[in-house]
A and B are shown apart, each in its own frame.
Chain A
Amino acid sequence: MKQPIDNIWIGQKDLEQDIDFLKEATQEVSPSALTTGEMTEHLSGNRRDFLKFLGFGLGAATVAAGCDIPVKRAIPYVVKPEEIVPGVANYYASTFVNGGDYCSILVKTREGRPIKIEGNDLSPVTRGGTSARAQAAVLSLYDTHRISGPKLKSDKGWNDTSWEDLDKMVMTTIQSSSNIRIISNTNMSPSSNKSLADFTAKYPNAKVVTYDPVSYSAVLEANSLNFGKKALPSYHFDKANVIVSFNADFLGTWISPIEFAGDYIKNRKIDDVTKAKMSRHIQVESHMSLTGSNADNRILVKPSEQGVAIAALYNSIVGGSMSTSGLNDKAKKSLTKIAEELKAAQGAALVVSSSNVVAEQLMVNAINNALGSYGSTINMGVTSQQAQGNDADFAALVSEMKSGSVDMVIIMNANPVYDAPMASAFTEAFGKVKNKLSFNTTVDETTDKCDIIAPNHHFLESWGDVEVKQGYYTLIQPTIAPLFNTRQAELSLLKWAESASVDFVNPQPYYEYVKNNWKNTVFANQNAVSSFTTFWDSCVHDGVFNTGSVSSASFTSVNIPADYTKPSGKELEISFYETVQLGNGQYAGNPWLMEMPDPVNRTNWGNYLAVPVNFDGVSKMVGFQNLKDGELVELSIGDSKYTVPVIQQFGQMPGTVAIALGYGRTHAGITGQNVGINVNNDLTYVNGYRQNYSSNVAVSTKIGKEKDFSCVQYHHTIGVKAVDTESGKEINADEAALVFFDYFTGAKGFQGALTDRSVVYTAHVNDLKNSIEGLTKKRKHAQHLNEQQIYAGFDHNYKLGHHWGMHVDLNACIGCGACTVACMAENNVPVVGKHEVAIHHEMAWLRIDRYYYGDIESPNTIYQPMMCQHCDNAPCENVCPVNASNHSSEGLNQMAYNRCIGTRYCANNCPYKVRRFNWLDYTTADIFPGNQPKLADENIPFGADNLTRMVLNPDVTVRSRGVIEKCSFCVQRIQEGKLAAKVEGRELMDADVKTACQTSCPTGAITFGDMNNKKDMLSSKLESPLNYIALEEINVRSSVTYTMKVNNRDSALDA
């Protein structure tokens, strides 16, 4: 039953007024976290213990004070490289690439070590945007689990060997092999592909087999049938006024999310309210994906109904009588209506689908053709290389290996034992191969089963190139000398192929190889530059080069087979989805990504079974089988049984559940292994194409409770309403601490805390005028309060010099989380682990709050990046007993770590709940260098080893235990920008200061700047009537401005 409400809610606990949740919302620290678990044991003790500790502490301090100051060394260069100035960062253009994941980047290096990834503005594909995965890539360079050099397997494990010995051995093996297979994920590098071609030319019995952890085989096949090109087209979401996506998560994981997000948002931002226009986005899916959560309308269909849903649209648009039996009525009705809208938007419509069934993709192509999308919103003339995997080739390889005809397999950037289609069948067949060699950089599931490791460089140590789309080239250049005794995989292949075109004596043979390849291909195909040296230098400098080549493509109609998926008719179905953080497990070893909460369900450190949640029509939310968040169930898919925790998911279609891929890895370092469950084996097959769902599923009732439920959705909540049990009045749970107590009568209650809090505002694009009026009225009232100041006379100061401020466009924010990882990287924010997250101890300075609004069964979503608001009337400052938190004349809420004594009064008094306390020594910053635990023997916190510490930003203090920290508006960047202006003797400009979150954003949702500078980009953004300040009525005078969230929901589809 549908229950439209105007309310905005956080989750079902909020709607249900869950007692425990309200209790938590009233306090800065979760009470449950303090009363149970290991913490209490540490905290117990009596007066005598206290005296003992005091005595010991004093004694230890005395001894420590008597020690000599350690001698510190200052080590200069022997021959200082001209380009390095110690203390000044250098940026190098490069490319982040992993399979089909792509981002053109700038790598920030300090004293020769890469410490941060920024987007490359010059790239026409990613346009300076990044993703969480790209941001986190720098950490994987310093992974302690990277393989240190060439290794051979023996009975006792891995033995080190030398490259010479390995080469000799591999050469003998190759020469005696009759069938060699190279297994790789999508490879977009022209030079790498050339080296593979060189290898297969030398050894004709070698063949490259490509597959992808998430398959795009059917799209490729359909395009091959319709266009004669086995490739993906370029999609232009910016040119589409109506977008229909069948389960394609194009903002999060599908093909090229950074590019698509940037395009998509151009039609979603509202720059001029008088001419407000917005595209309409309709998502057809069962599980709430990141893209679905950003959609205006969602049409719920079961995973097995996707085929008939596409067929229904096909029938309405192209015309035809494809069978649609089994499609639910509501979806059928909605799709018919959408078909009209799509037709009306002829030439500006776009239909995409993630389906892996050829017939379905053929229908989608036919629909797009009928809508005139080709040539407008889809460009088949510039093909994308971002998915090349072929399910059929891979299946053939498995049977080949099974028959024993393959002597040697070379694994090149792939982990098929974990993520291949039919992983268990593959593993079994793989065991029959005599010689198995891996180029992978860590001992993952596949490498573990190999006999030889010839470890590749990390991409930040390598030369290379990428052709992401036809004619769109980027270069990869090394930003650090190889940390380990590794070798470029392509170079290994060339060496074994005894390539004559490579000078192996050259110190950088692969560099020469790439350069020569460019000279013969990219350079030869352009006319703009005549000198190759000039051409090459500018390519290395910019990182990008576009030839602008376009090939012709015309649509050929083909008969659509009737073998598309038909509804299973089963009561329960499960879908498997790739996450923004981990993909299909490729990034599971990366702690930043592991700790990044999933944008939609906001869980981290594990995959949770998303179960639907219904409204009973009165006051209660009814969970699927009465299951609640964090309860364990037994999940049976086919013959496999798993124990998983559940999470109640709004917008999850009744009769369906969903679980993320990419977890449950067995070989992924201390971070990734044995976190969550691996369901790759349960993926089904239709006609040899891998399907991300199963109809053979059962979920038990509650069988237990998860020990550490790491979901951050109910942590640090703001604006939660509750009903006071004593008085029956509605109050604000945040301020339950403001209890009223009368000593004479003994009466208790809440002091009239304001309830109608401005946290987020929503509007419909057609009703914008009224919504703005309402907002203006509300703000006027709040601003009346704002005339009062607790620090009188300071306005005078803020007008002088700079006054820093930020604008966050909630219409542009898609919740992808790139900013949260960028913030961790920039500000040395520690990773705390599952247990600590479960007890509200996550340290992220920037979180993305998720709110639902509208239809309770299929709600719309708001993502609100929430960080320190740098209030000019900051309530945290005046409660600090030691003045560790105070205000600067530039409007910054300053946190002096060294003054902080950890009373946490500030965190308790912060209305936005953005202050984080170092409960434990997460970084080992407290430990004397001599006492640091040894790597092998003791567990040290993540990131405290010397290798991982290389990623730290040397301009930001590493915080120790017992101090509060929070967003500083990237003060180190502010100071750097100011200094640059001063040194050059000019006024500060927009581009001088950009925060880490701002530069990472693929959609430009965040703008930072000087509010006093009227020429600033920020100032123009601050003029929008959609702007509001969160919690403006409490008169804290925050420096962060948000915009009202506007949607373009078609209420006719809700009926």
Chain B
Amino acid sequence: MYKRNIKSQTSSTMMYKHLKFSLYLAIFSLITISSARAQVSPDAGKELFKSYCAACHAKDMRSAATGPALGGSQQRWGDDAALYAWIRNSQALIADGHPRAVELWNQYKPTVMTAFPNLTDDEIGSMMAYINGVYDGTYGAAPVAAGEEAKGPVEKKSNLPMYVIIAVILAALALLLTKIILNLRHIVAAKEGEDYEKKTLWQIMSSKGVVTFLIFSAVILGSYTTVNNATNLGRQEGYAPDQPIKFSHETHAGLHKIDCQYCHDSARKSKHSSIPGANTCMNCHKAIKVGSKYGTAEITKIFASIGYDPTTNLYVENYESKTEEEIKAIYTKWMGDQYKVSKELADLDKEGVKLVEKQWKDIVKSLTNEQKKNIQGPIEWTRIHNLPDHVYFNHAQHVTVGKVECQTCHGPVETMEVLAQASPLSMGWCINCHRQTEVKFLDNPYYADYARYHEELASGKRSKVTVADIGGLECQKCHY
């Protein structure tokens, strides 16, 4: 279960934060600019690694995937020139009979490593720096990526201490003033010869004034909190629940640059962007059966949902009528085999049996729930972007007509390992965008109906037509 993350911020603190954030950003960008651009940097290496290597080599540099683990490869080769040559064209090196190359070829054939003849020495150096950094744990420990890191601390930094200090100072001041007033009264009373009775603390605290004040402040504070929380009810910016499959948008959209609408194909023609069916996954995963990040277990979930046997490369006949035991036999065999390959074993060892059992349990857990008892059938994802029932949103309108990038609302999905809701999806947020976004007015003959705007645009009286100008702020554009 996901617990709501309630934030209450006043506009002033928001503004303050904003200011502060800009300041930080300015300072950091200055630093970035002034620092000499290194020829070999592990950061550049990371990017290169993602684009060239990560499809076949595991990201942790320790486990084997399609290709071997890269951690420590420089040591294993011992000869940078040969290693670089290998990366640029492995087959040539094998043909030359380099011993290390031949050794690797025997181990991995017939899989051929893709040739990268265009990589410069600096680029390969950067990659090696990154690989070594990840392998020995030094990369990522020190603050490296200025831009990325800048946001974190600024946003998380709380203004509470400052408020506490101000509150304490004010309280002390109030106390001091009260004391002075009391003393003055005492003095006056004494001078006038009146009998001044000093009130006890209890008397002061239970006096009408104090009680009224307390109740009054409680009501104000209570209402304020209620209103703030009520506004945020149902909003779940940052919501990143666990999904039945550890699907990585970073790998698919970022690394492999698969177009968003390849999978979410109905976004261009329907109100829903819709989650692809398992058959869409199979277009690629018939060939890619072992994941670069999570190995066999996660992709096997797709196979178990749709009924594909990766060992025989065939769809299982009458899969709907198979019992859990039969299904288990198919997929534990596959996962066991993969384990054996990765560990270079002839038979499953004890650890392997345990691992496969564990993976199977995870598959069952992911593909079944209270309503869905069978493993076969759809993968039930946890929905992240939830709009209230009274909101009508149409993807086609935004994607096809408005030509809005998916990232505008969904955030940098291509960098998200675990998908999270990037925007508040609040009405204010929608409205703001409608106010600022320009309509693709001249490209689409549909808008010919708006003759006056066309005239105004032509005469220069109007610089642009926003969504708001054609009624994009009206209730029944989204609520009906």
Contact = CB atoms under 8 A, between A and B. Distances in A.
Interface of A: 65, 68-69, 71-80, 85-88, 799-802, 886, 888-890, 892, 894-899, 955-958, 968, 971-972, 975, 978-979, 981-983, 985-988, 1010, 1012-1013
Interface string B375-395: 011111111001011101010
A801 B270 CA distance: 24
B300 interface: no
Nearest to B263: A76
A71 B390 contact: no
Contact of B446 (A68, A88, A982): A982
Contacts of B388: 898
Given A71-B382, A800-B451, A896 B445 contact: no
B449 A971 contact: no
Of all A-B residue pairs in the complex, the 10 with the closest CB atoms, nearest first, are A87-B270, A80-B277, A77-B277, A87-B272, A894-B476, A74-B383, A87-B271, A896-B475, A76-B275, A72-B383
Interface in B427-480: 443-446, 448-453, 470-471, 474-477, 479-480
A665 B378 CA distance: 44
Most chain-B CB neighbours within 10 Å: which of A80, A799, A1012?
A: A80
B341 interface: no
Which of A87, A971, A972 has the most CB atoms of chain B within a 10 A radius of its CB? A87
A85 B270 contact: yes
A886 B475 contact: yes
Given A73-B381, A972-B392, A983-B396, A78 B476 contact: no
A87 B266 contact: yes
B444 A982 contact: yes
B401 A982 contact: yes
Contact of A75 (B229, B376, B380, B451): B380
Contacts of B474: 886, 888-889, 894
Nearest to A978: B446
Interface in B1-57: 1-4
Nearest to A803: B449
Nearest to A84: B266
Contact of A896 (B383, B389, B476): B476
A986 B445 contact: yes
Contacts of B401: 979, 982-983
B390 A983 contact: no
Contacts of B270: 85-88
A65 B390 CA distance: 19
Contact of B234 (A69, A77, A85): A69
Given A69-B234, A898-B390, A78 B279 contact: yes
B381 A76 contact: yes
23 contacts: A65-B230, A68-B3, A68-B4, A69-B2, A69-B4, A71-B241, A72-B386, A73-B382, A76-B381, A78-B279, A88-B270, A88-B271, A800-B449, A800-B453, A801-B450, A886-B475, A894-B479, A955-B480, A968-B480, A975-B480, A979-B397, A986-B446, A987-B448
Interface in B381-427: 381-383, 386, 388-390, 392, 394, 396-397, 400-401
A975 to B, nearest CB: 7
Contacts of A888: 471, 474-477
A341 B320 CA distance: 73
A432 to B, nearest CB: 47
Contacts of A898: 388, 390, 479
B427 to A, nearest CB: 10
Contact of A955 (B4, B233, B269, B392): B392
Nearest to B241: A71
B292 interface: no
Given A72-B386, A78-B378, A982-B446, A890 B396 contact: no
A224 to B, nearest CB: 55
Given A75-B380, A78-B305, A85 B450 contact: no
Nearest to A797: B471
A487 B337 CA distance: 47
B378 A76 contact: yes
A71 B383 CA distance: 7
Contacts of B266: 85-88
Nearest to B479: A896
Given A75-B378, A75-B381, A979-B397, A80 B476 contact: no
B97 interface: no
B400 to A, nearest CB: 5
Given A76-B378, A888-B471, A890-B471, A987 B279 contact: no
Contacts of B1: 68, 71
A801 B397 contact: no
B142 to A, nearest CB: 38
Contact of A76 (B276, B390, B480): B276
A86 B445 CA distance: 27
Residue among B376, B378, B476 with the highest chain A CB neighbour number at 10 A: B476
A79 to B, nearest CB: 4
A76 B452 contact: no
A1003 B199 CA distance: 90
Contact of B476 (A76, A86, A892, A981): A892
B446 A985 contact: yes
A71 B371 CA distance: 14
Interface in B256-286: 266, 269-272, 274-280
B269 to A, nearest CB: 6
Given A65-B230, A74-B381, 14 more contacts: A68-B2, A71-B241, A72-B382, A74-B380, A75-B380, A78-B277, A894-B475, A898-B388, A955-B392, A956-B480, A968-B480, A975-B392, A979-B397, A981-B446
Contact of A78 (B4, B269, B278): B278
B236 interface: yes
B319 to A, nearest CB: 10
Contact of A799 (B272, B448, B452): B452
A899 B391 CA distance: 12
A71 B384 CA distance: 9
Contacts of A75: 378-381
A983 B398 CA distance: 10
B160 to A, nearest CB: 23
Nearest to B269: A85
B269 A983 contact: yes
B356 interface: no
B306 interface: yes
A73 B244 CA distance: 11
A972 to B, nearest CB: 6
A1035 B401 CA distance: 38
Contacts of B233: 65
A87 B4 contact: no
Contacts of B271: 87-88, 955
Contacts of A895: 475-476
A957 B387 CA distance: 13
A985 B444 contact: yes
A78 B319 CA distance: 12
A424 to B, nearest CB: 49
Contacts of A80: 276-277, 279-280
